[in-house]
């Protein structure tokens, strides 16, 4: 077993409030399976594209992430605040008593997400704190039975999205730091790249006395597999966004069983990469990767600094910053999953609404450069992101800053038919310097006039005489 550098970060404050591990069965010592004996990840289609993907996902470009839960009552960090001991477990759980969902209006959410230009959304149906937003038959905490809201918050959301043609995504945490059977076994070999430093010691995660209890774990698996099947059957989501995967191995979670149970309900369901070997797409978060992940991917990004609602967090990103994030992500072939955190009553802060609407206006104006396009030029050709139309006959150059005199383009092997400003349609002059043999000269496009400059990001449409062809060599010796 690989030794993961761990440090006991938090185990003094919550004391006896940690969920106790069942001792009804004689606890046995580690059931660790050596890595060499573990089965290799099973992909959906052996030997084919390792990440087959529903076309709607690649075409969506924008999704809205919604972190909604009891943590919004006091505005403390979702789940992590009691895990880390920032607040006591008792105080965290007391939020259950004040969670009202009194202004829950999924139709208004769905309208807003449409105005933002999103094609899908992902709602936290259950975070690591274990509080389900629907009336689950598998026990544990839920908003119907354990909060004054007394309501299911999943079905209205799914219905409202569907009625507007948006795809329905469910975030679901594999881990549950409040389930009595959860902290019963340890990960045999945590991945240091994703595990947090106390994955092997935090008593919300592993047995405090180190005694593994496989029977308790089987009970947890029954609950976990039951809940995901229940969600899939009752609400038929298009996408499952798993999380918490770093705390157990694929075999411990039973990812194949989870994936197969969901696919038996709906064969077209998309899974994010946190379902480990059964994931369909990569999910970096909070920072655009320097190189694009292989295959489909999505950047999860908070509109301010927090996933859940926090009264204290006013660090909302400007619309310009969000448009830049969006342009860079789609220019690298990804989707942006932009997160908002509703207040405990279900209403969204005005600052989040204006950001989503601002992004939506920009997308509407620049729709041709967004939808029906693919990742654009590799670095080195244009100073900024770009996309290319599906027929590869139009290149869209995103100008992150206000261009001065000219915009340059390098290594273009095609002849340019026309350059226009997206939105206004104004035509721009352009000229390509002589190259040398197979090495094309540099193209210079005249900067748009002030009237054609977009307040966030200006986009130029470069129409080509033939499908995009690039020179990417080093020039003459
Ligand atoms: C981070 C947060 C977690 C949140 C997730 C969404 O991992 O810790 O609380 O749900 O991001 O991507």
Q: pLDDT tens digits, residue range 340-352?
A: 999 999 999 999 9
Q: Is the CB of 300 under 6 A from ligand 1?
A: yes
Neighbours of 217 (CB within 10 A): 20
Mean pLDDT of 181-191: 97
Relative to beta strand 386-389, strand 373-375 is: antiparallel
Q: Token pair of 31, please?
A: 């059931």
In the reported structure, the alpha carbon of residue 155 is separated from the centroid of ligand 1 by a whole-number distance in angstroms of 23
Q: Which CATH architecture has domain 55-365?
A: Alpha-Beta Barrel (3.20)
- Two tokens, residue 36: 């060499």
**Spatial separation of the C-alpha atoms in residues 377 and 468, rounded to whole Å:** 10
Pick the atom of ligand 1 nearest to 128's CA: 9
**8-state DSSP, 47:** T
Say if ligand 1 is within 6 A of residue 122 CB. no
Mean pLDDT, the chain, integer: 90
Beta strand segments in 32-190, E:
62-66, 120-126, 167-173
Tens of pLDDT along 445-462?
999 999 999 999 999 999
Cα 307 to middle of ligand 1, angstroms: 7
Tens of pLDDT, residues 205-248: 999 999 999 999 999 999 999 999 999 999 999 999 999 999 99
pLDDT score recorded for residue 53? 83
Give me the residue label for tokens 């990742």. 375
CB 206 within 8 A of CB 186: yes
pLDDT-derived band at 52 (thresholds 50, 70, 90) equals low
Q: What is the pLDDT of residues 2-19, one digit of tens each?
A: 323 322 222 222 222 223
Provide the angle, in degrees to the nearest 10, between the axes of the packed helices 214-235 and 255-265. Answer: 20
Domain boundaries 377-464, corresponding CATH code: 2.60.40.1180
| Tokens 């089965």 belong to residue | 39
pLDDT tens-digit map of 353-370: 999 999 999 999 999 999
Ligand 1 atom closest to the Cα of residue 173 is: 10
Mean pLDDT of 264-275: 96
Share of the chain above pLDDT 70, in %: 89
Tell me the CA–centroid distance for residue 143 and ligand 1, in Å: 20
What was the pLDDT predicted at 386?
A: 98
Residue 67 · residue 78 · CB < 8 Å = yes
Would you state the pLDDT for residue 22? 29
State the span(s) of the chain assigned CATH 3.20.20.80. Answer: 55-365
User: 307 CB less than 6 Å from ligand 1?
Assistant: yes
Cα 79 to middle of ligand 1, angstroms: 9
- Rounded-to-integer distance, Cα 318 and Cα 185, Å: 44
Atom of ligand 1 nearest to the CA of 77: 9
Whether the CB of 129 sits within 6 Å of ligand 1: no
Q: Which atom of ligand 1 is nearest to the CA of 283?
A: 12
377-424: pLDDT as tens digits: 999 999 999 999 999 999 999 999 999 999 999 999 999 999 999 999
Domain limits, CATH 2.60.40.1180, in the chain: 377-464
CA of 266 to the centre of ligand 1 (A): 26
Nearest CA to 274 out of 237, 227, 242, 228 is that of 242
Rounded to a whole number, what is the largest CA-CA distance in the chain? 82
Token pair of 279 as six digits:
């994931």
Residue 73 CA to residue 57 CA, distance in Å, equals: 33
- DSSP letters for 395-425: EEEEESS---SEEEE-SB-SPEEEEEETTT-
Q: Which helix (H) or strand (E) holds 261?
A: helix 255-265
By DSSP bridging, strand 335-340 and strand 167-173 are: unpaired
- Cα 295 to averaged position of ligand 1 atoms, centre (Å): 22
127 CA → ligand 1 middle, Å: 9
Residue nearest to atom 2 of ligand 1 (CA): 307
Is the CB of 285 within 6 Å of ligand 1?
yes
Looking at residue 19, what is its pLDDT? 30
* Distance from residue 417's CA to the centre of ligand 1 (Å): 46
Q: Are 412 and 435 in contact (CB under 8 A)?
A: no
- 301 Cβ inside 6 Å of ligand 1: no
User: What pLDDT score does 207 carry?
Assistant: 97
Task: Give the pLDDT band (50/70/90) at residue 477.
Answer: confident
């Amino acid at each position: 077993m690989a030794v993961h550098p761990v440090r006991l970060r938090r185990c003094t404050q919550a004391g006896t409030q940690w969920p106790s591990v069942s001792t009804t069965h004689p606890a046995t010592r580690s059931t660790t399976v050596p890595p060499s004996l573990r089965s290799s990840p099973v992909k959906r289609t052996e030997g084919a594209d390792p990440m087959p993907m529903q076309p709607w996902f690649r075409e969506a470009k924008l999704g809205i992430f919604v972190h909604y839960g009891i943590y919004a009552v006091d505005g403390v960090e979702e789940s992590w605040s009691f895990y880390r001991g920032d607040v006591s477990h008792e105080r965290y759980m007391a939020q259950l008593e004040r969670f009202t969902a009194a202004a829950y209006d999924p139709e208004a959410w769905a309208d807003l997400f449409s105005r933002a230009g999103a094609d899908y959304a992902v709602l936290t149906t259950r975070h690591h704190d274990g509080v389900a937003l629907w009336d689950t038959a598998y026990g544990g905490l839920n908003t119907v039975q354990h909060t004054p809201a007394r309501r299911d918050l999943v079905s209205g959301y799914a219905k409202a999205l569907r009625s507007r043609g948006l795809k329905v995504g469910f975030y679901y945490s594999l881990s549950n730091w409040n389930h009595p059977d959860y902290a019963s076994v340890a990960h045999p070999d945590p991945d240091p790249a994703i595990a947090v430093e106390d994955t092997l010691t935090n008593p919300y995660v592993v047995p405090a006395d180190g005694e593994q209890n496989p029977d308790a774990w089987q009970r947890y698996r029954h609950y976990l597999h039951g809940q995901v099947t229940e969600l899939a059957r009752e609400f038929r989501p298009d996408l499952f966004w798993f999380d918490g995967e770093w705390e157990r191995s694929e075999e411990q979670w039973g990812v194949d069983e989870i994936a197969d149970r969901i696919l038996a309900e709906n064969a077209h369901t998309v899974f994010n990469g946190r379902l480990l070997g059964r994931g369909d797409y990569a999910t970096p978060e909070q920072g655009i990767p320097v190189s694009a992940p292989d295959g489909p991917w999505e950047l999860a990004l908070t509109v301010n600094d927090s996933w859940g609602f926090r009264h204290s967090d006013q660090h909302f990103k400007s619309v310009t910053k969000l448009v830049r994030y969006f342009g860079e992500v789609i220019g690298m072939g990804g989707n942006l999953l932009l997160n908002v955190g509703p207040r405990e009553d279900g209403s969204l802060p005005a600052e989040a609404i204006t950001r989503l609407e601002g992004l939506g206006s920009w997308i509407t104006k620049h729709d041709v450069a967004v939808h029906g396009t693919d990742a654009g030029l590799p670095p080195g050709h244009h100073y900024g992101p770009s996309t290319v139309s599906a027929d590869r006959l139009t290149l869209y150059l995103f100008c992150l800053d206000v261009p001065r005199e000219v915009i340059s383009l390098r290594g273009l092997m095609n002849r340019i038919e026309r350059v226009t400003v997206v939105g206004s349609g104004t035509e721009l002059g352009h000229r390509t310097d002589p190259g040398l043999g197979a090495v094309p000269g540099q193209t210079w496009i005249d900067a748009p006039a002030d009237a054609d400059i977009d307040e966030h990001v200006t986009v130029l449409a470069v129409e080509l005489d033939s499908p995009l062809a690039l020179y990417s060599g080093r020039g003459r010796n």
